[in-house]
Structure formats: structure tokens, C-alpha cells
Structure 1
Amino acid sequence: MQVRIMADYLCLAALLLAAPLTPYASQLSSSSSLRFIALGDWGGVSNPPFHTAREVATAKEIGRTVAALGADFILSLGDNFYYSGVQDVHDKRFQETFEQVFTAQSLRTVPWYVLAGNHDHSGNVSAQIAYSKVSKRWNFPNYYYTLRFKVPRSNATVAIIMIDTVTLCGNSDDFQSQQPQQPRDMELARTQLAWLRKQMAASQDDYLLVAGHYPVWSVAEHGPTHCLVKRLQPLLLKYQATAYLCGHDHNLQYLQDKAGVGYVLSGAGNFVENSRKHYRKVPEGYLRFFYAEPASLGGFAYVEIDSKQMSVTYIEASGKSLYKTSLPRRSRL
């Protein structure tokens, strides 16, 4: 096991230092808005049947939502495969936790844009990247990368910067220390942070989103990620980001800081945890919405961006709309 993890780590270093970080193109619909699902922590279990009832229910409701409302893509926010990621590109988990669960007709041509969570890093993340060449739906070009889109029928543009919070902050052992302690390789962390700063500084997009696995702010079991509060939050404020999207805590949350940055936490794709143990660790007034009913079937966030605003709707797997909010179009810098 240690040899395999070290081999994956060396592959990570080679990819981050050598691979081009280019945005993917997108097949947009004929709508006048850009629409996508934000889904984290959906990755089944490591024993048969390799999925949970909540994952299946969430997948079915995503299919119904996309059929009714449309979606240009699905943003996967990490912990794609519990509990130890995948072993290689031929791992059966790709089929039994992903391909054979998200089977709705409406999802067959919808691309997924993927980033890694802490449980993915316990396995072979480079195999998840390589799976991009196997599956027509699965798009994971590198550990971190930028997506850019035009909002249909408008001049508005959207940038989504996909980051690897584990490389940036370190891995989190959910069963012992809940906070990542430090990056495994400080040089790789510094490289990613410099890249992120450059991407954000250069963005003249009307909507600037950053997506990662760990939350900046969360009132739940894991709470705020100290590393991201220190390193990422100042960049979100400085470069007037629209929102940060994440998972990690197994519930649905919406928080907003005093500067107007939205924090969209969508981690209820597979498990639901009702803890609010870090409620007092989040600045007063930030939390606007929290949902983690024990009997819930799970849920996700549905995001729609038009020429004027970005709306976020939290949807339970039962089909119930739980909460909706909106964020304005960013002022050109």
C-alpha cells in the first residue's frame, strides 16, 4: 500500500510540474443561461453493492431535475469514491459507483467536471485523471485546472477555477484528526497557490467561481478549514470572487460573508450528518441555510447563471426545493 501511494505521489508531482493546465471546452444548450449541478461526497462505499440508497436517490433526482430544467454539466466536488479512492483506471468502482448509478437518460450526454477529495487522495487520483480517456462523461484533466464558459445569448462569461485542496492543505483523516495539518509537499502547495493567485488576478469574467473539496466556512462536523481561511479566503475577497463551492461536510449549507462572497456547500450526495458542532467557529451572520435531516435522501445544489445573476437552489433527493438565493453579476475589474 505504501509503495502504491508513493508512486501516485510521484505521478502527482510530475503532472503538476509538467502538464499544461488548459480549460475544457463546453457543449452549451440553447438556453439563455448556464446551468449546472454541484454535487459533492457522492462516492458510494467500498463494499458491495458499492453505492448507498442515498446516492441512488440523489442520482435519480439529478436525472429528473436535468430532464425538467436542463444542465450543461455536473461539477463533482470530491470524495468521488469512498473510502479509499480507486486503485487504477480499470477499478470496478468507476462502473459500480458512477456509471451504473447515474443512468438517467437525461444524464447520458452531460459532462462531469471532477476534482479530488481527501478520500480520493487515499487512493490513486492519477487513475481518476486517466479515466477521462475511458469515459465520455468524465472530465478530470489535472489536479487543478480552469473552466471557462460564455453565458448563452449574452456577453457574460464565467470562470470556474477547480483546485485541489488536499495538495494545498494536506489530507484529512476523518476518523482521527479532522483538520488537515500541512501539505505533504510544500513546494507543490506553493506552486498551486501561485497558479491560483495568477488565475484569479487575470480574471475579467462576469462570474468568478472557485471550487474545491474542503470548505472555507462550515458549521458542521469538520468546520472551517484553517488552511483555506488563511490562504484562500483573502484571495476570494481581493479578487472579488462570486462564490466558492465545496463539499466535505455531509450536508447542505449556504453561507455568505460581509463582502458578498457566497459559500455553497453541497456534500449530501451519499451521507447525511446533522452536526453543527462548529456553529460558533463561523462569523456571526454568515450562515443563511443549513439542511441535514436524518431521514433525508440526500441532495445537491442547482446553479443557474444568466446575464444578471447567479442563482443557487438546494434540492433534496425527494425533489423538494429547500432554499434559493442569488448573487449578482460581478463588476468588471
Structure 2
Amino acid sequence: MALSSKERLVFRVVFVAAVLCSFITPSMAELPRFKHAPKKPQQSLHILVVGDWGRQGTNNQSFVADQMGIVGEKLDIDFVISTGDNFYEDGLKGVDDPAFYSSFVDIYTAHSLQKTWYSVLGNHDYRGDVEAQLSPALKQKDSRWLCLRSFILDGEIVEFFFVDTTPFVDEYFVDPGEHTYDWEGVLPRMSYLSQLLVDVDSALAKSKAKWKMVVGHHTINSAGHHGNTEELKQILVPILEAYNVDAYINGHDHCLEHIIDKNSGIHFLTSGGGSKAWSGDVKPWSSEELQLYYDGQGFMSMQITESNADIIFYDVYGKPLHSWSISKDRKESAWI
């Protein structure tokens, strides 16, 4: 069931009113919360971010994994964030699907990558057995694996709000083409989205963390192949802006990208270069906002302290492509 233009507008008005006027009663079903304390005494978190990767080692997935291992060792990372499309082309067929090993367990073998992988679902994951990918049975096969539809990761100085973005996209419901999506647990769609938005709103309202970052699979602002996701721009962005979210982190476009919204100051960070990339597939974008667009494979690191979040994008050879330091005083954000 697609969202009409009127319904989108209603969503936007209601939820902007909620965050600005505290109109909506907080949800009784709060998002699951996990805690990952920063290193002491430095009080810092070191993270790798990768998306759109699960191709059984092909399309340079293995090469990206090797470089992630090297950088992860150098940074002594705490955990990995996966921005979705974890298993191509059509997710997992079940909890015993060998793709879990051939695309994950047997690929990310470096010692430094034996940390928790906090993962969201992408649209390709929804083409398989979603409950299999969310199942605790996978964690029994590999203790690193943690994947939920939406949840909160509490890193004390930073909170990451993982949001299930696939059900927001009209196209998958009204024009799925030859693909079949597993909507068990999502239907009725309007109720699911309403509850999710209330939960995200409530979680952001309660957050006392220095940094607030939202993780989803789909792009919001992107010069890449898929471009902007209008449903998220209309419905989710007002909430991000109202609570001064520092960054939105995503995959979906198979590239590495950094956009700073000139109005809100939100950093839109795309790390979708875990395997297959789309060479030369880029749309025009304001040079004032677009800090990086790289149409190849790679990944991103983040080093977060109370005062700064330092990001670095790496290519398939582990070469740094772009570095930026985000300060809590956004006026001081700059190259590093």
C-alpha cells in the first residue's frame, strides 16, 4: 500500500509537530538498545563502516575486506557498522544458507574484524528470508553478527539510531517488478511506519549523548545512481533536523560520498562500496555541499571523542581518499 502525497504530508506535519511541540505520547514499544562503552581512558570509539558487500568475495569484496582488516588493526576498532544489502542478490534463503559463510564468515577473517557487526537490512535483504537474517541462530554460527530491523547502539559519547528504511520506499510495494519482497512483520505498512517514526522520535528526544547519528540503508541526499530517497526526505529528515542529528550514515548507492547539508549542517555519509561499484554514475551536485564522490569500492572509518568525530574514506587499496573532522561546534568542522 503506497503512501499518497497527502499521506506523506500528514506524516510530515504530525511528526514535525511532535518533535517541536511534544505532541505525541512516547511509544510503549521502545527500540531495542545495546551498549558499547568507549575505550578508557581515551574515551573514544573507533569504527569501520561498510555497506552493499555480500557477493561471496566477488566484485572486489575480498580486497575491500583485506584492507578493512589492515585499517581495523591500525585503529584498534571497537566494532563494525554495516549499512545493509548484506547478502546479494536476494538476501538469505534461511538460517542455513551457505551464503552466510561465503559472503561474511569466510571473507572478513582478519583478527581486527572479529568484533561485533551492527547491521541493518537493505532492499536486497528484504528479497530473501528476513527473519533468517534477524535470527539468533546466525549469532550462534558467528558471534559477531547482530542484525535487527531498528535499534539503538549506545556508545555513551555517541548514540547510533539504526532505522529500517526499506519499508519507507513506495516503489517496492507498487512496482516491485520481477522481485518478491518479504513483508512479514511489516504489514500493515502504515501502522509499521507510524510506530517506527514514533519510536525514533521518542528515542532521539530522550537521548543525552554528545553525538547523535542515524544509520539506514537508503540514501537521503546522494549524487549517486539511486539519488535522493524522497520518502525519507519528506518523513524522516524533519525529525533528524529537529533533534540536531550530527550525521546520517547509509549505503544503497555503490560509492563513497560525503555531503554536508548547507541548511541543517547534517553530514550525509554514504559507505556503499563493499563490493560492486558503478563507475561514472554520478549526478550534478552543489560543490558547496559535495565534499567527496568516489565511484569505486571502499569503506569508511570513524574515530569519535566527546569533541570530535573524525571520518576517513578509503579505496579498495586502503588509500585514504577523503578526511574530515566534525566538531561539536559545527562551524569548526574542517579537513583533517
- Whether TM-score is above 0.5 comes out as yes
Q: Which among 116, 120, 135 is matched to residue 111 of structure 1?
A: 116
* CA displacement at 1:18 relative to structure 2: 10
Of stretches 118-127 and 194-203 in structure 1, the one that deviates more from structure 2 is 194-203
CA distance in 1, matches of 2:219, 2:199: 20
Corresponding position of 2:3: none
Give, in whole Å, the separation in 2 of the partners of 1:273 and 1:65.
24
Cα deviation 1:93-125 (Å, max 9, x = unaligned): 1111000000112222x1100100000000012
Is the CA contact (8 Å cut-off) linking 1:169 and 1:189 kept in structure 2?
no
Equivalent positions of 1:169-208 (< 5 A) are 169-170=169-170, 172=172, 185-208=189-212
Distance 1:114 1:18 in 2: 24
For normalisation by structure 1, the TM-score amounts to 0.81
Q: How does 1:284-299 map to 2 (within 5 A)?
A: 285-293=288-296, 298-299=297-298
**What is aligned with 1:158?**
158
Give the CA deviation at 1:139: 1.1
**With structure 2 as the length reference, what TM-score do the two structures score?**
0.81
Deviation at 1:329, TM superposition (A): 2.3
- Between Structure 1 and Structure 2, how many residues are aligned? 294
Contact 2:301 / 2:311 at 8 angstroms: preserved in 1? yes
Give me the whole-angstrom Cα distance separating, in 1, the residues matched to 2:282 and 2:292.
15
* Shift in alpha-carbon separation, 1:125–1:19, aligned structure 2, 3 A: farther
CA RMSD, Structure 1 to Structure 2 (Å): 2.7
How far off is 1:27 after superposition? 6.0
**Given the alignment of the two structures, is residue 36 of structure 1 paired with residue 47 of structure 2, yes or no?**
yes
Residue 51 (1) aligns with residue 61 (2): no
Residue ranges of structure 1 left out of the alignment (5+ in a row): 1-16, 45-49, 151-156
- Percent same amino acid at aligned positions? 29
Aligned to 1:317: 316
Structure 1 residue identity aligned to 2:110: A
1:186, distance to aligned residue in structure 2 (A): 1.5
| Residue from 126, 129, 135 that aligns with 1:121 | 126
The residue correspondences of 1:1-333 to structure 2 (distance < 5 A) are 21-26=31-36, 28-30=38-40, 31-44=42-55, 50-108=56-114, 110-130=115-135, 131-140=138-147, 142-150=148-156, 157-170=157-170, 172=172, 185-258=189-262, 259-279=264-284, 285-293=288-296, 298-329=297-328
Per the alignment, do residues 38 and 172 of structure 1 end up closer, same or farther by CA in structure 2, a change over 3 Å counting? farther
Letter of the 2:73 counterpart: A
Note closer, same or farther for the CA distance 1:21–1:200 as it changes in structure 2 (3 Å cut): closer
Superposed CA deviations along residues 145-171 of structure 1, whole A, max 9, x for unmatched, are 111012xxxxxx211000100123356
**Counterparts in 2 of 1:247 and 1:172: CA distance versus 1, 3 Å:** farther
- Unaligned stretches of 5+ in structure 2? 1-26, 331-336
In structure 2, what is the Cα distance between the partners aligned to 1:255 and 1:92?
A: 37
- Aligned partner of residue 106 in structure 1, secondary structure: helix
**Displacement of 1:25:** 2.6
SS at match of 1:117: coil
Q: What amino acid does structure 2 have at the position aligned with 1:95?
A: Y
